[in-house]
Amino acid sequence: MKRDFDKLRGENFDLIVVGGGIVGAGIAHDAALRGLNTLLVEKAGFAHGTTSRSTRLIHGGLRYLRTMQFGLVRQDLREREIILKIAPHLVHRLQFIIPALRSEPFYRFSLPFGLYLYDFLAKGKGIPRWRRLSRQKTLEVEPGLADINGLVGSYLYYDCQAEFMERLCLENLLSAAENGACILNHAAAINLLAKDDVVHGIEVKDTLTGENYIANGRMVVNAGGHWADLMWEKLNIQSKDRLRRTKGIHLLTKKVSNNALVLFAKSDGRLFFITPLREHSLIGTTDTDYTADLDTIHASASDVEYLVTEMRHYFPQFGADDIYYAMAGLRSLVASGDKTASDTSRAHKLVDHELKNGIKGYITVLGGKITAYRAIAEEVLDLVCKKFSVQAPCTTADTPLPGAPAVPAQDIEQAAQQHDLPLETVAYLATLYGSRFSSVLGYVSADKRLGQPVAASCIDILAQINYAVEEEEALTLSDFMLCCTNIGLGPSQGLDAVETVAREMGLLLGWSKTEEQDQIENYRALAALGQRFRTEAVNS
């Protein structure tokens, strides 16, 4: 990907996508594969919103069976199989344990039925079926559950994890660019351009330089996530379709369990997860209505206390000292009048403003689960192609993403020997970049210094900085730390690596010492949001 605003001059795009989260990325990818001249703009870094704050699961949503959202579960289970096929390097099977407790007879009798239904709706051969485990077998598989009172056994089932969700988003964008799309990050859509109730483009601001540009297009798709309805104000659109924003938090903690666990909160019955994230655990999530600032979302002291309290019912020794940091994101749900946030459907909705408001050339995507991103994109492009009277079938279900397929073990061993790097390092690169790990190692071939670790606490190497800047539009410290790599997801939040990364990026991008320091301070301020719950707890 090459960030080039000059491409906007004199161009009339078929499709302009606003939003570089996974839904917007999927739309741009599908559009490019169908041969449409496509532009995507993202106001910050790719995947910086909800995509990077998720539970990192590709799943049907077992809990949605309880609210009888069978169509949603069936679609997402089908998408789970497709994403496993097109991104096998980024998505893998994950074993889940649901403890069965003597004190919860309802779940002991209802869960088997739900799991049977989950397997039936999946109708796939790639994922093993659920099974019941005795108490003894449960403790063999997950000894950490030994302290739970009344444990009688468990249920074991499988779903999928995308540990590097940001890379899944990024690879959709990379493929879109390789198929002709113009992809721009740090490019804010500051205005919709319309005449006689026909949208014909957007005004774009390069947030790194402050320059404004005009992008003309036949159709604009608003995939702005929890910012989506704010774009309507630019055309004074009045709509009964509304977003309900709800906050979900996650805690990165010391390792709690060997497996992914599904637990139920004692206070309100909500389901929450413990999932492995490298050598640590990711715990979440919550679901509360949110009306505050959309750009500085953080976990409050009460959010964290809720999860800590519920965790102690299962792991009595768990406490705030086990938490490295908390992250918070927003769901953009289609408002439906449900009393609680958890009862609100996770189904998406397309708003065709030509039908709703008499405004041609404008479509908004509301809601939608990450797992369904490809199917949502297909639905959007089917509508766009219908409006354009274009016959162009969707091929994203059968088109591997750029890093596919997964790298064979012998290739990893050979590359480690060839580049004189630890096997663990090369295996990690193959997990992160898939088959393109060799492109990263190409920088090491040219300069052995680039094989050095970025910091003592992480496995990433300096070559990744060069690759991210030159190939993946990494233009800020946060782009590299939180999207192109997952250094910022580690226990230290990458704070021990910021000076090294800033120095290397500065050399590549021509930053002055002042700009370099500004990048460091901006990243530190972002990381501080993950610790804000601690100061709130002290001051309360």
Which secondary-structure segment (H or E) carries 465? helix 463-471
pLDDT at 231: 83
**Within a domain: 60:** no
What is the C-alpha radius of gyration for the chain, rounded to an integer number of angstroms?
Answer: 23
Cα separation, 138 vs 393, whole angstroms: 47
Answer yes or no: do 434 and 497 share one domain. yes
The CATH code of the domain that includes 480 is 1.10.8.870
Phi, psi of 435 (to 5 degrees): -65, -15
Cα separation, 137 vs 483, whole angstroms: 39
Cα separation, 226 vs 232, whole angstroms: 13
Query: Environment class of residue 22 by beta-carbon count within 10 Å: exposed (0-12), middle (13-18) or buried (19+)?
Result: buried
| Three-state SS at 149 | coil
Answer yes or no: do 142 and 259 share one domain. yes
pLDDT at 455: 94
**Within a domain: 79:** no
Answer yes or no: do 311 and 426 share one domain. no
Cα separation, 21 vs 410, whole angstroms: 34
Q: Is-contact 175 402, C-beta < 8 A?
A: yes
pLDDT at 424: 97
Answer yes or no: do 438 and 509 share one domain. yes
**Mean pLDDT taken over the chain:** 94
Answer yes or no: do 29 and 100 share one domain. no
The CATH code of the domain that includes 357 is 3.50.50.60
Cα separation, 426 vs 454, whole angstroms: 14
Going from the C-alpha of 137 to that of each of 5, 134, 215, the distances in angstroms are 59, 5, 61
Answer yes or no: do 445 and 512 share one domain. yes
Phi, psi of 83 (to 5 degrees): -65, -35
Answer yes or no: do 249 and 128 share one domain. yes
Q: How many CB atoms sit inside 10 A of residue 164's CB?
A: 22
- Cβ partners under 8 Å of residue 345, min gap 6: 67, 69, 72, 333, 334, 336, 338, 367
Answer yes or no: do 428 and 499 share one domain. yes
> Residue 238, by phi and psi: left (phi above 0), alpha (psi -120 to 50) or beta?
beta
Cα separation, 481 vs 464, whole angstroms: 11
- Cβ partners under 8 Å of residue 272, min gap 6: 262, 263, 264, 265, 283, 284, 285, 286, 307, 310
Lookup result for tokens 């946030």: 341
Cα separation, 244 vs 411, whole angstroms: 47
Q: In the chain, which stretches have pLDDT less than 50?
A: none
Cα separation, 137 vs 456, whole angstroms: 39
Cα separation, 378 vs 385, whole angstroms: 10
Domain coverage including residue 275: 91-161+244-334
**Within a domain: 58:** no
Answer yes or no: do 186 and 235 share one domain. yes
Which secondary-structure segment (H or E) carries 219? strand 212-222
Going from the C-alpha of 508 to that of each of 222, 340, 460, 503, the distances in angstroms are 33, 49, 18, 9
Do the bridges between strand 243-253 and strand 280-284 make them parallel or antiparallel, or are there none, so unpaired?
Answer: antiparallel
The count of domains in the chain is 3
pLDDT at 125: 64
Lookup result for tokens 């009306």: 291
* Half-sphere exposure (Cβ direction) of 93: Cα atoms closer than 13 Å: 10
- Per-residue burial over 323-358, b if 16 or more Cβ lie within 10 Å, else e, is bbbbbbbbbbbbbeeeeebbebbbbbebbebbebbe
Answer yes or no: do 254 and 227 share one domain. no
Name 289's bridge partners: 246
Query: Environment class of residue 444 by beta-carbon count within 10 Å: exposed (0-12), middle (13-18) or buried (19+)?
Result: buried
pLDDT at 124: 67
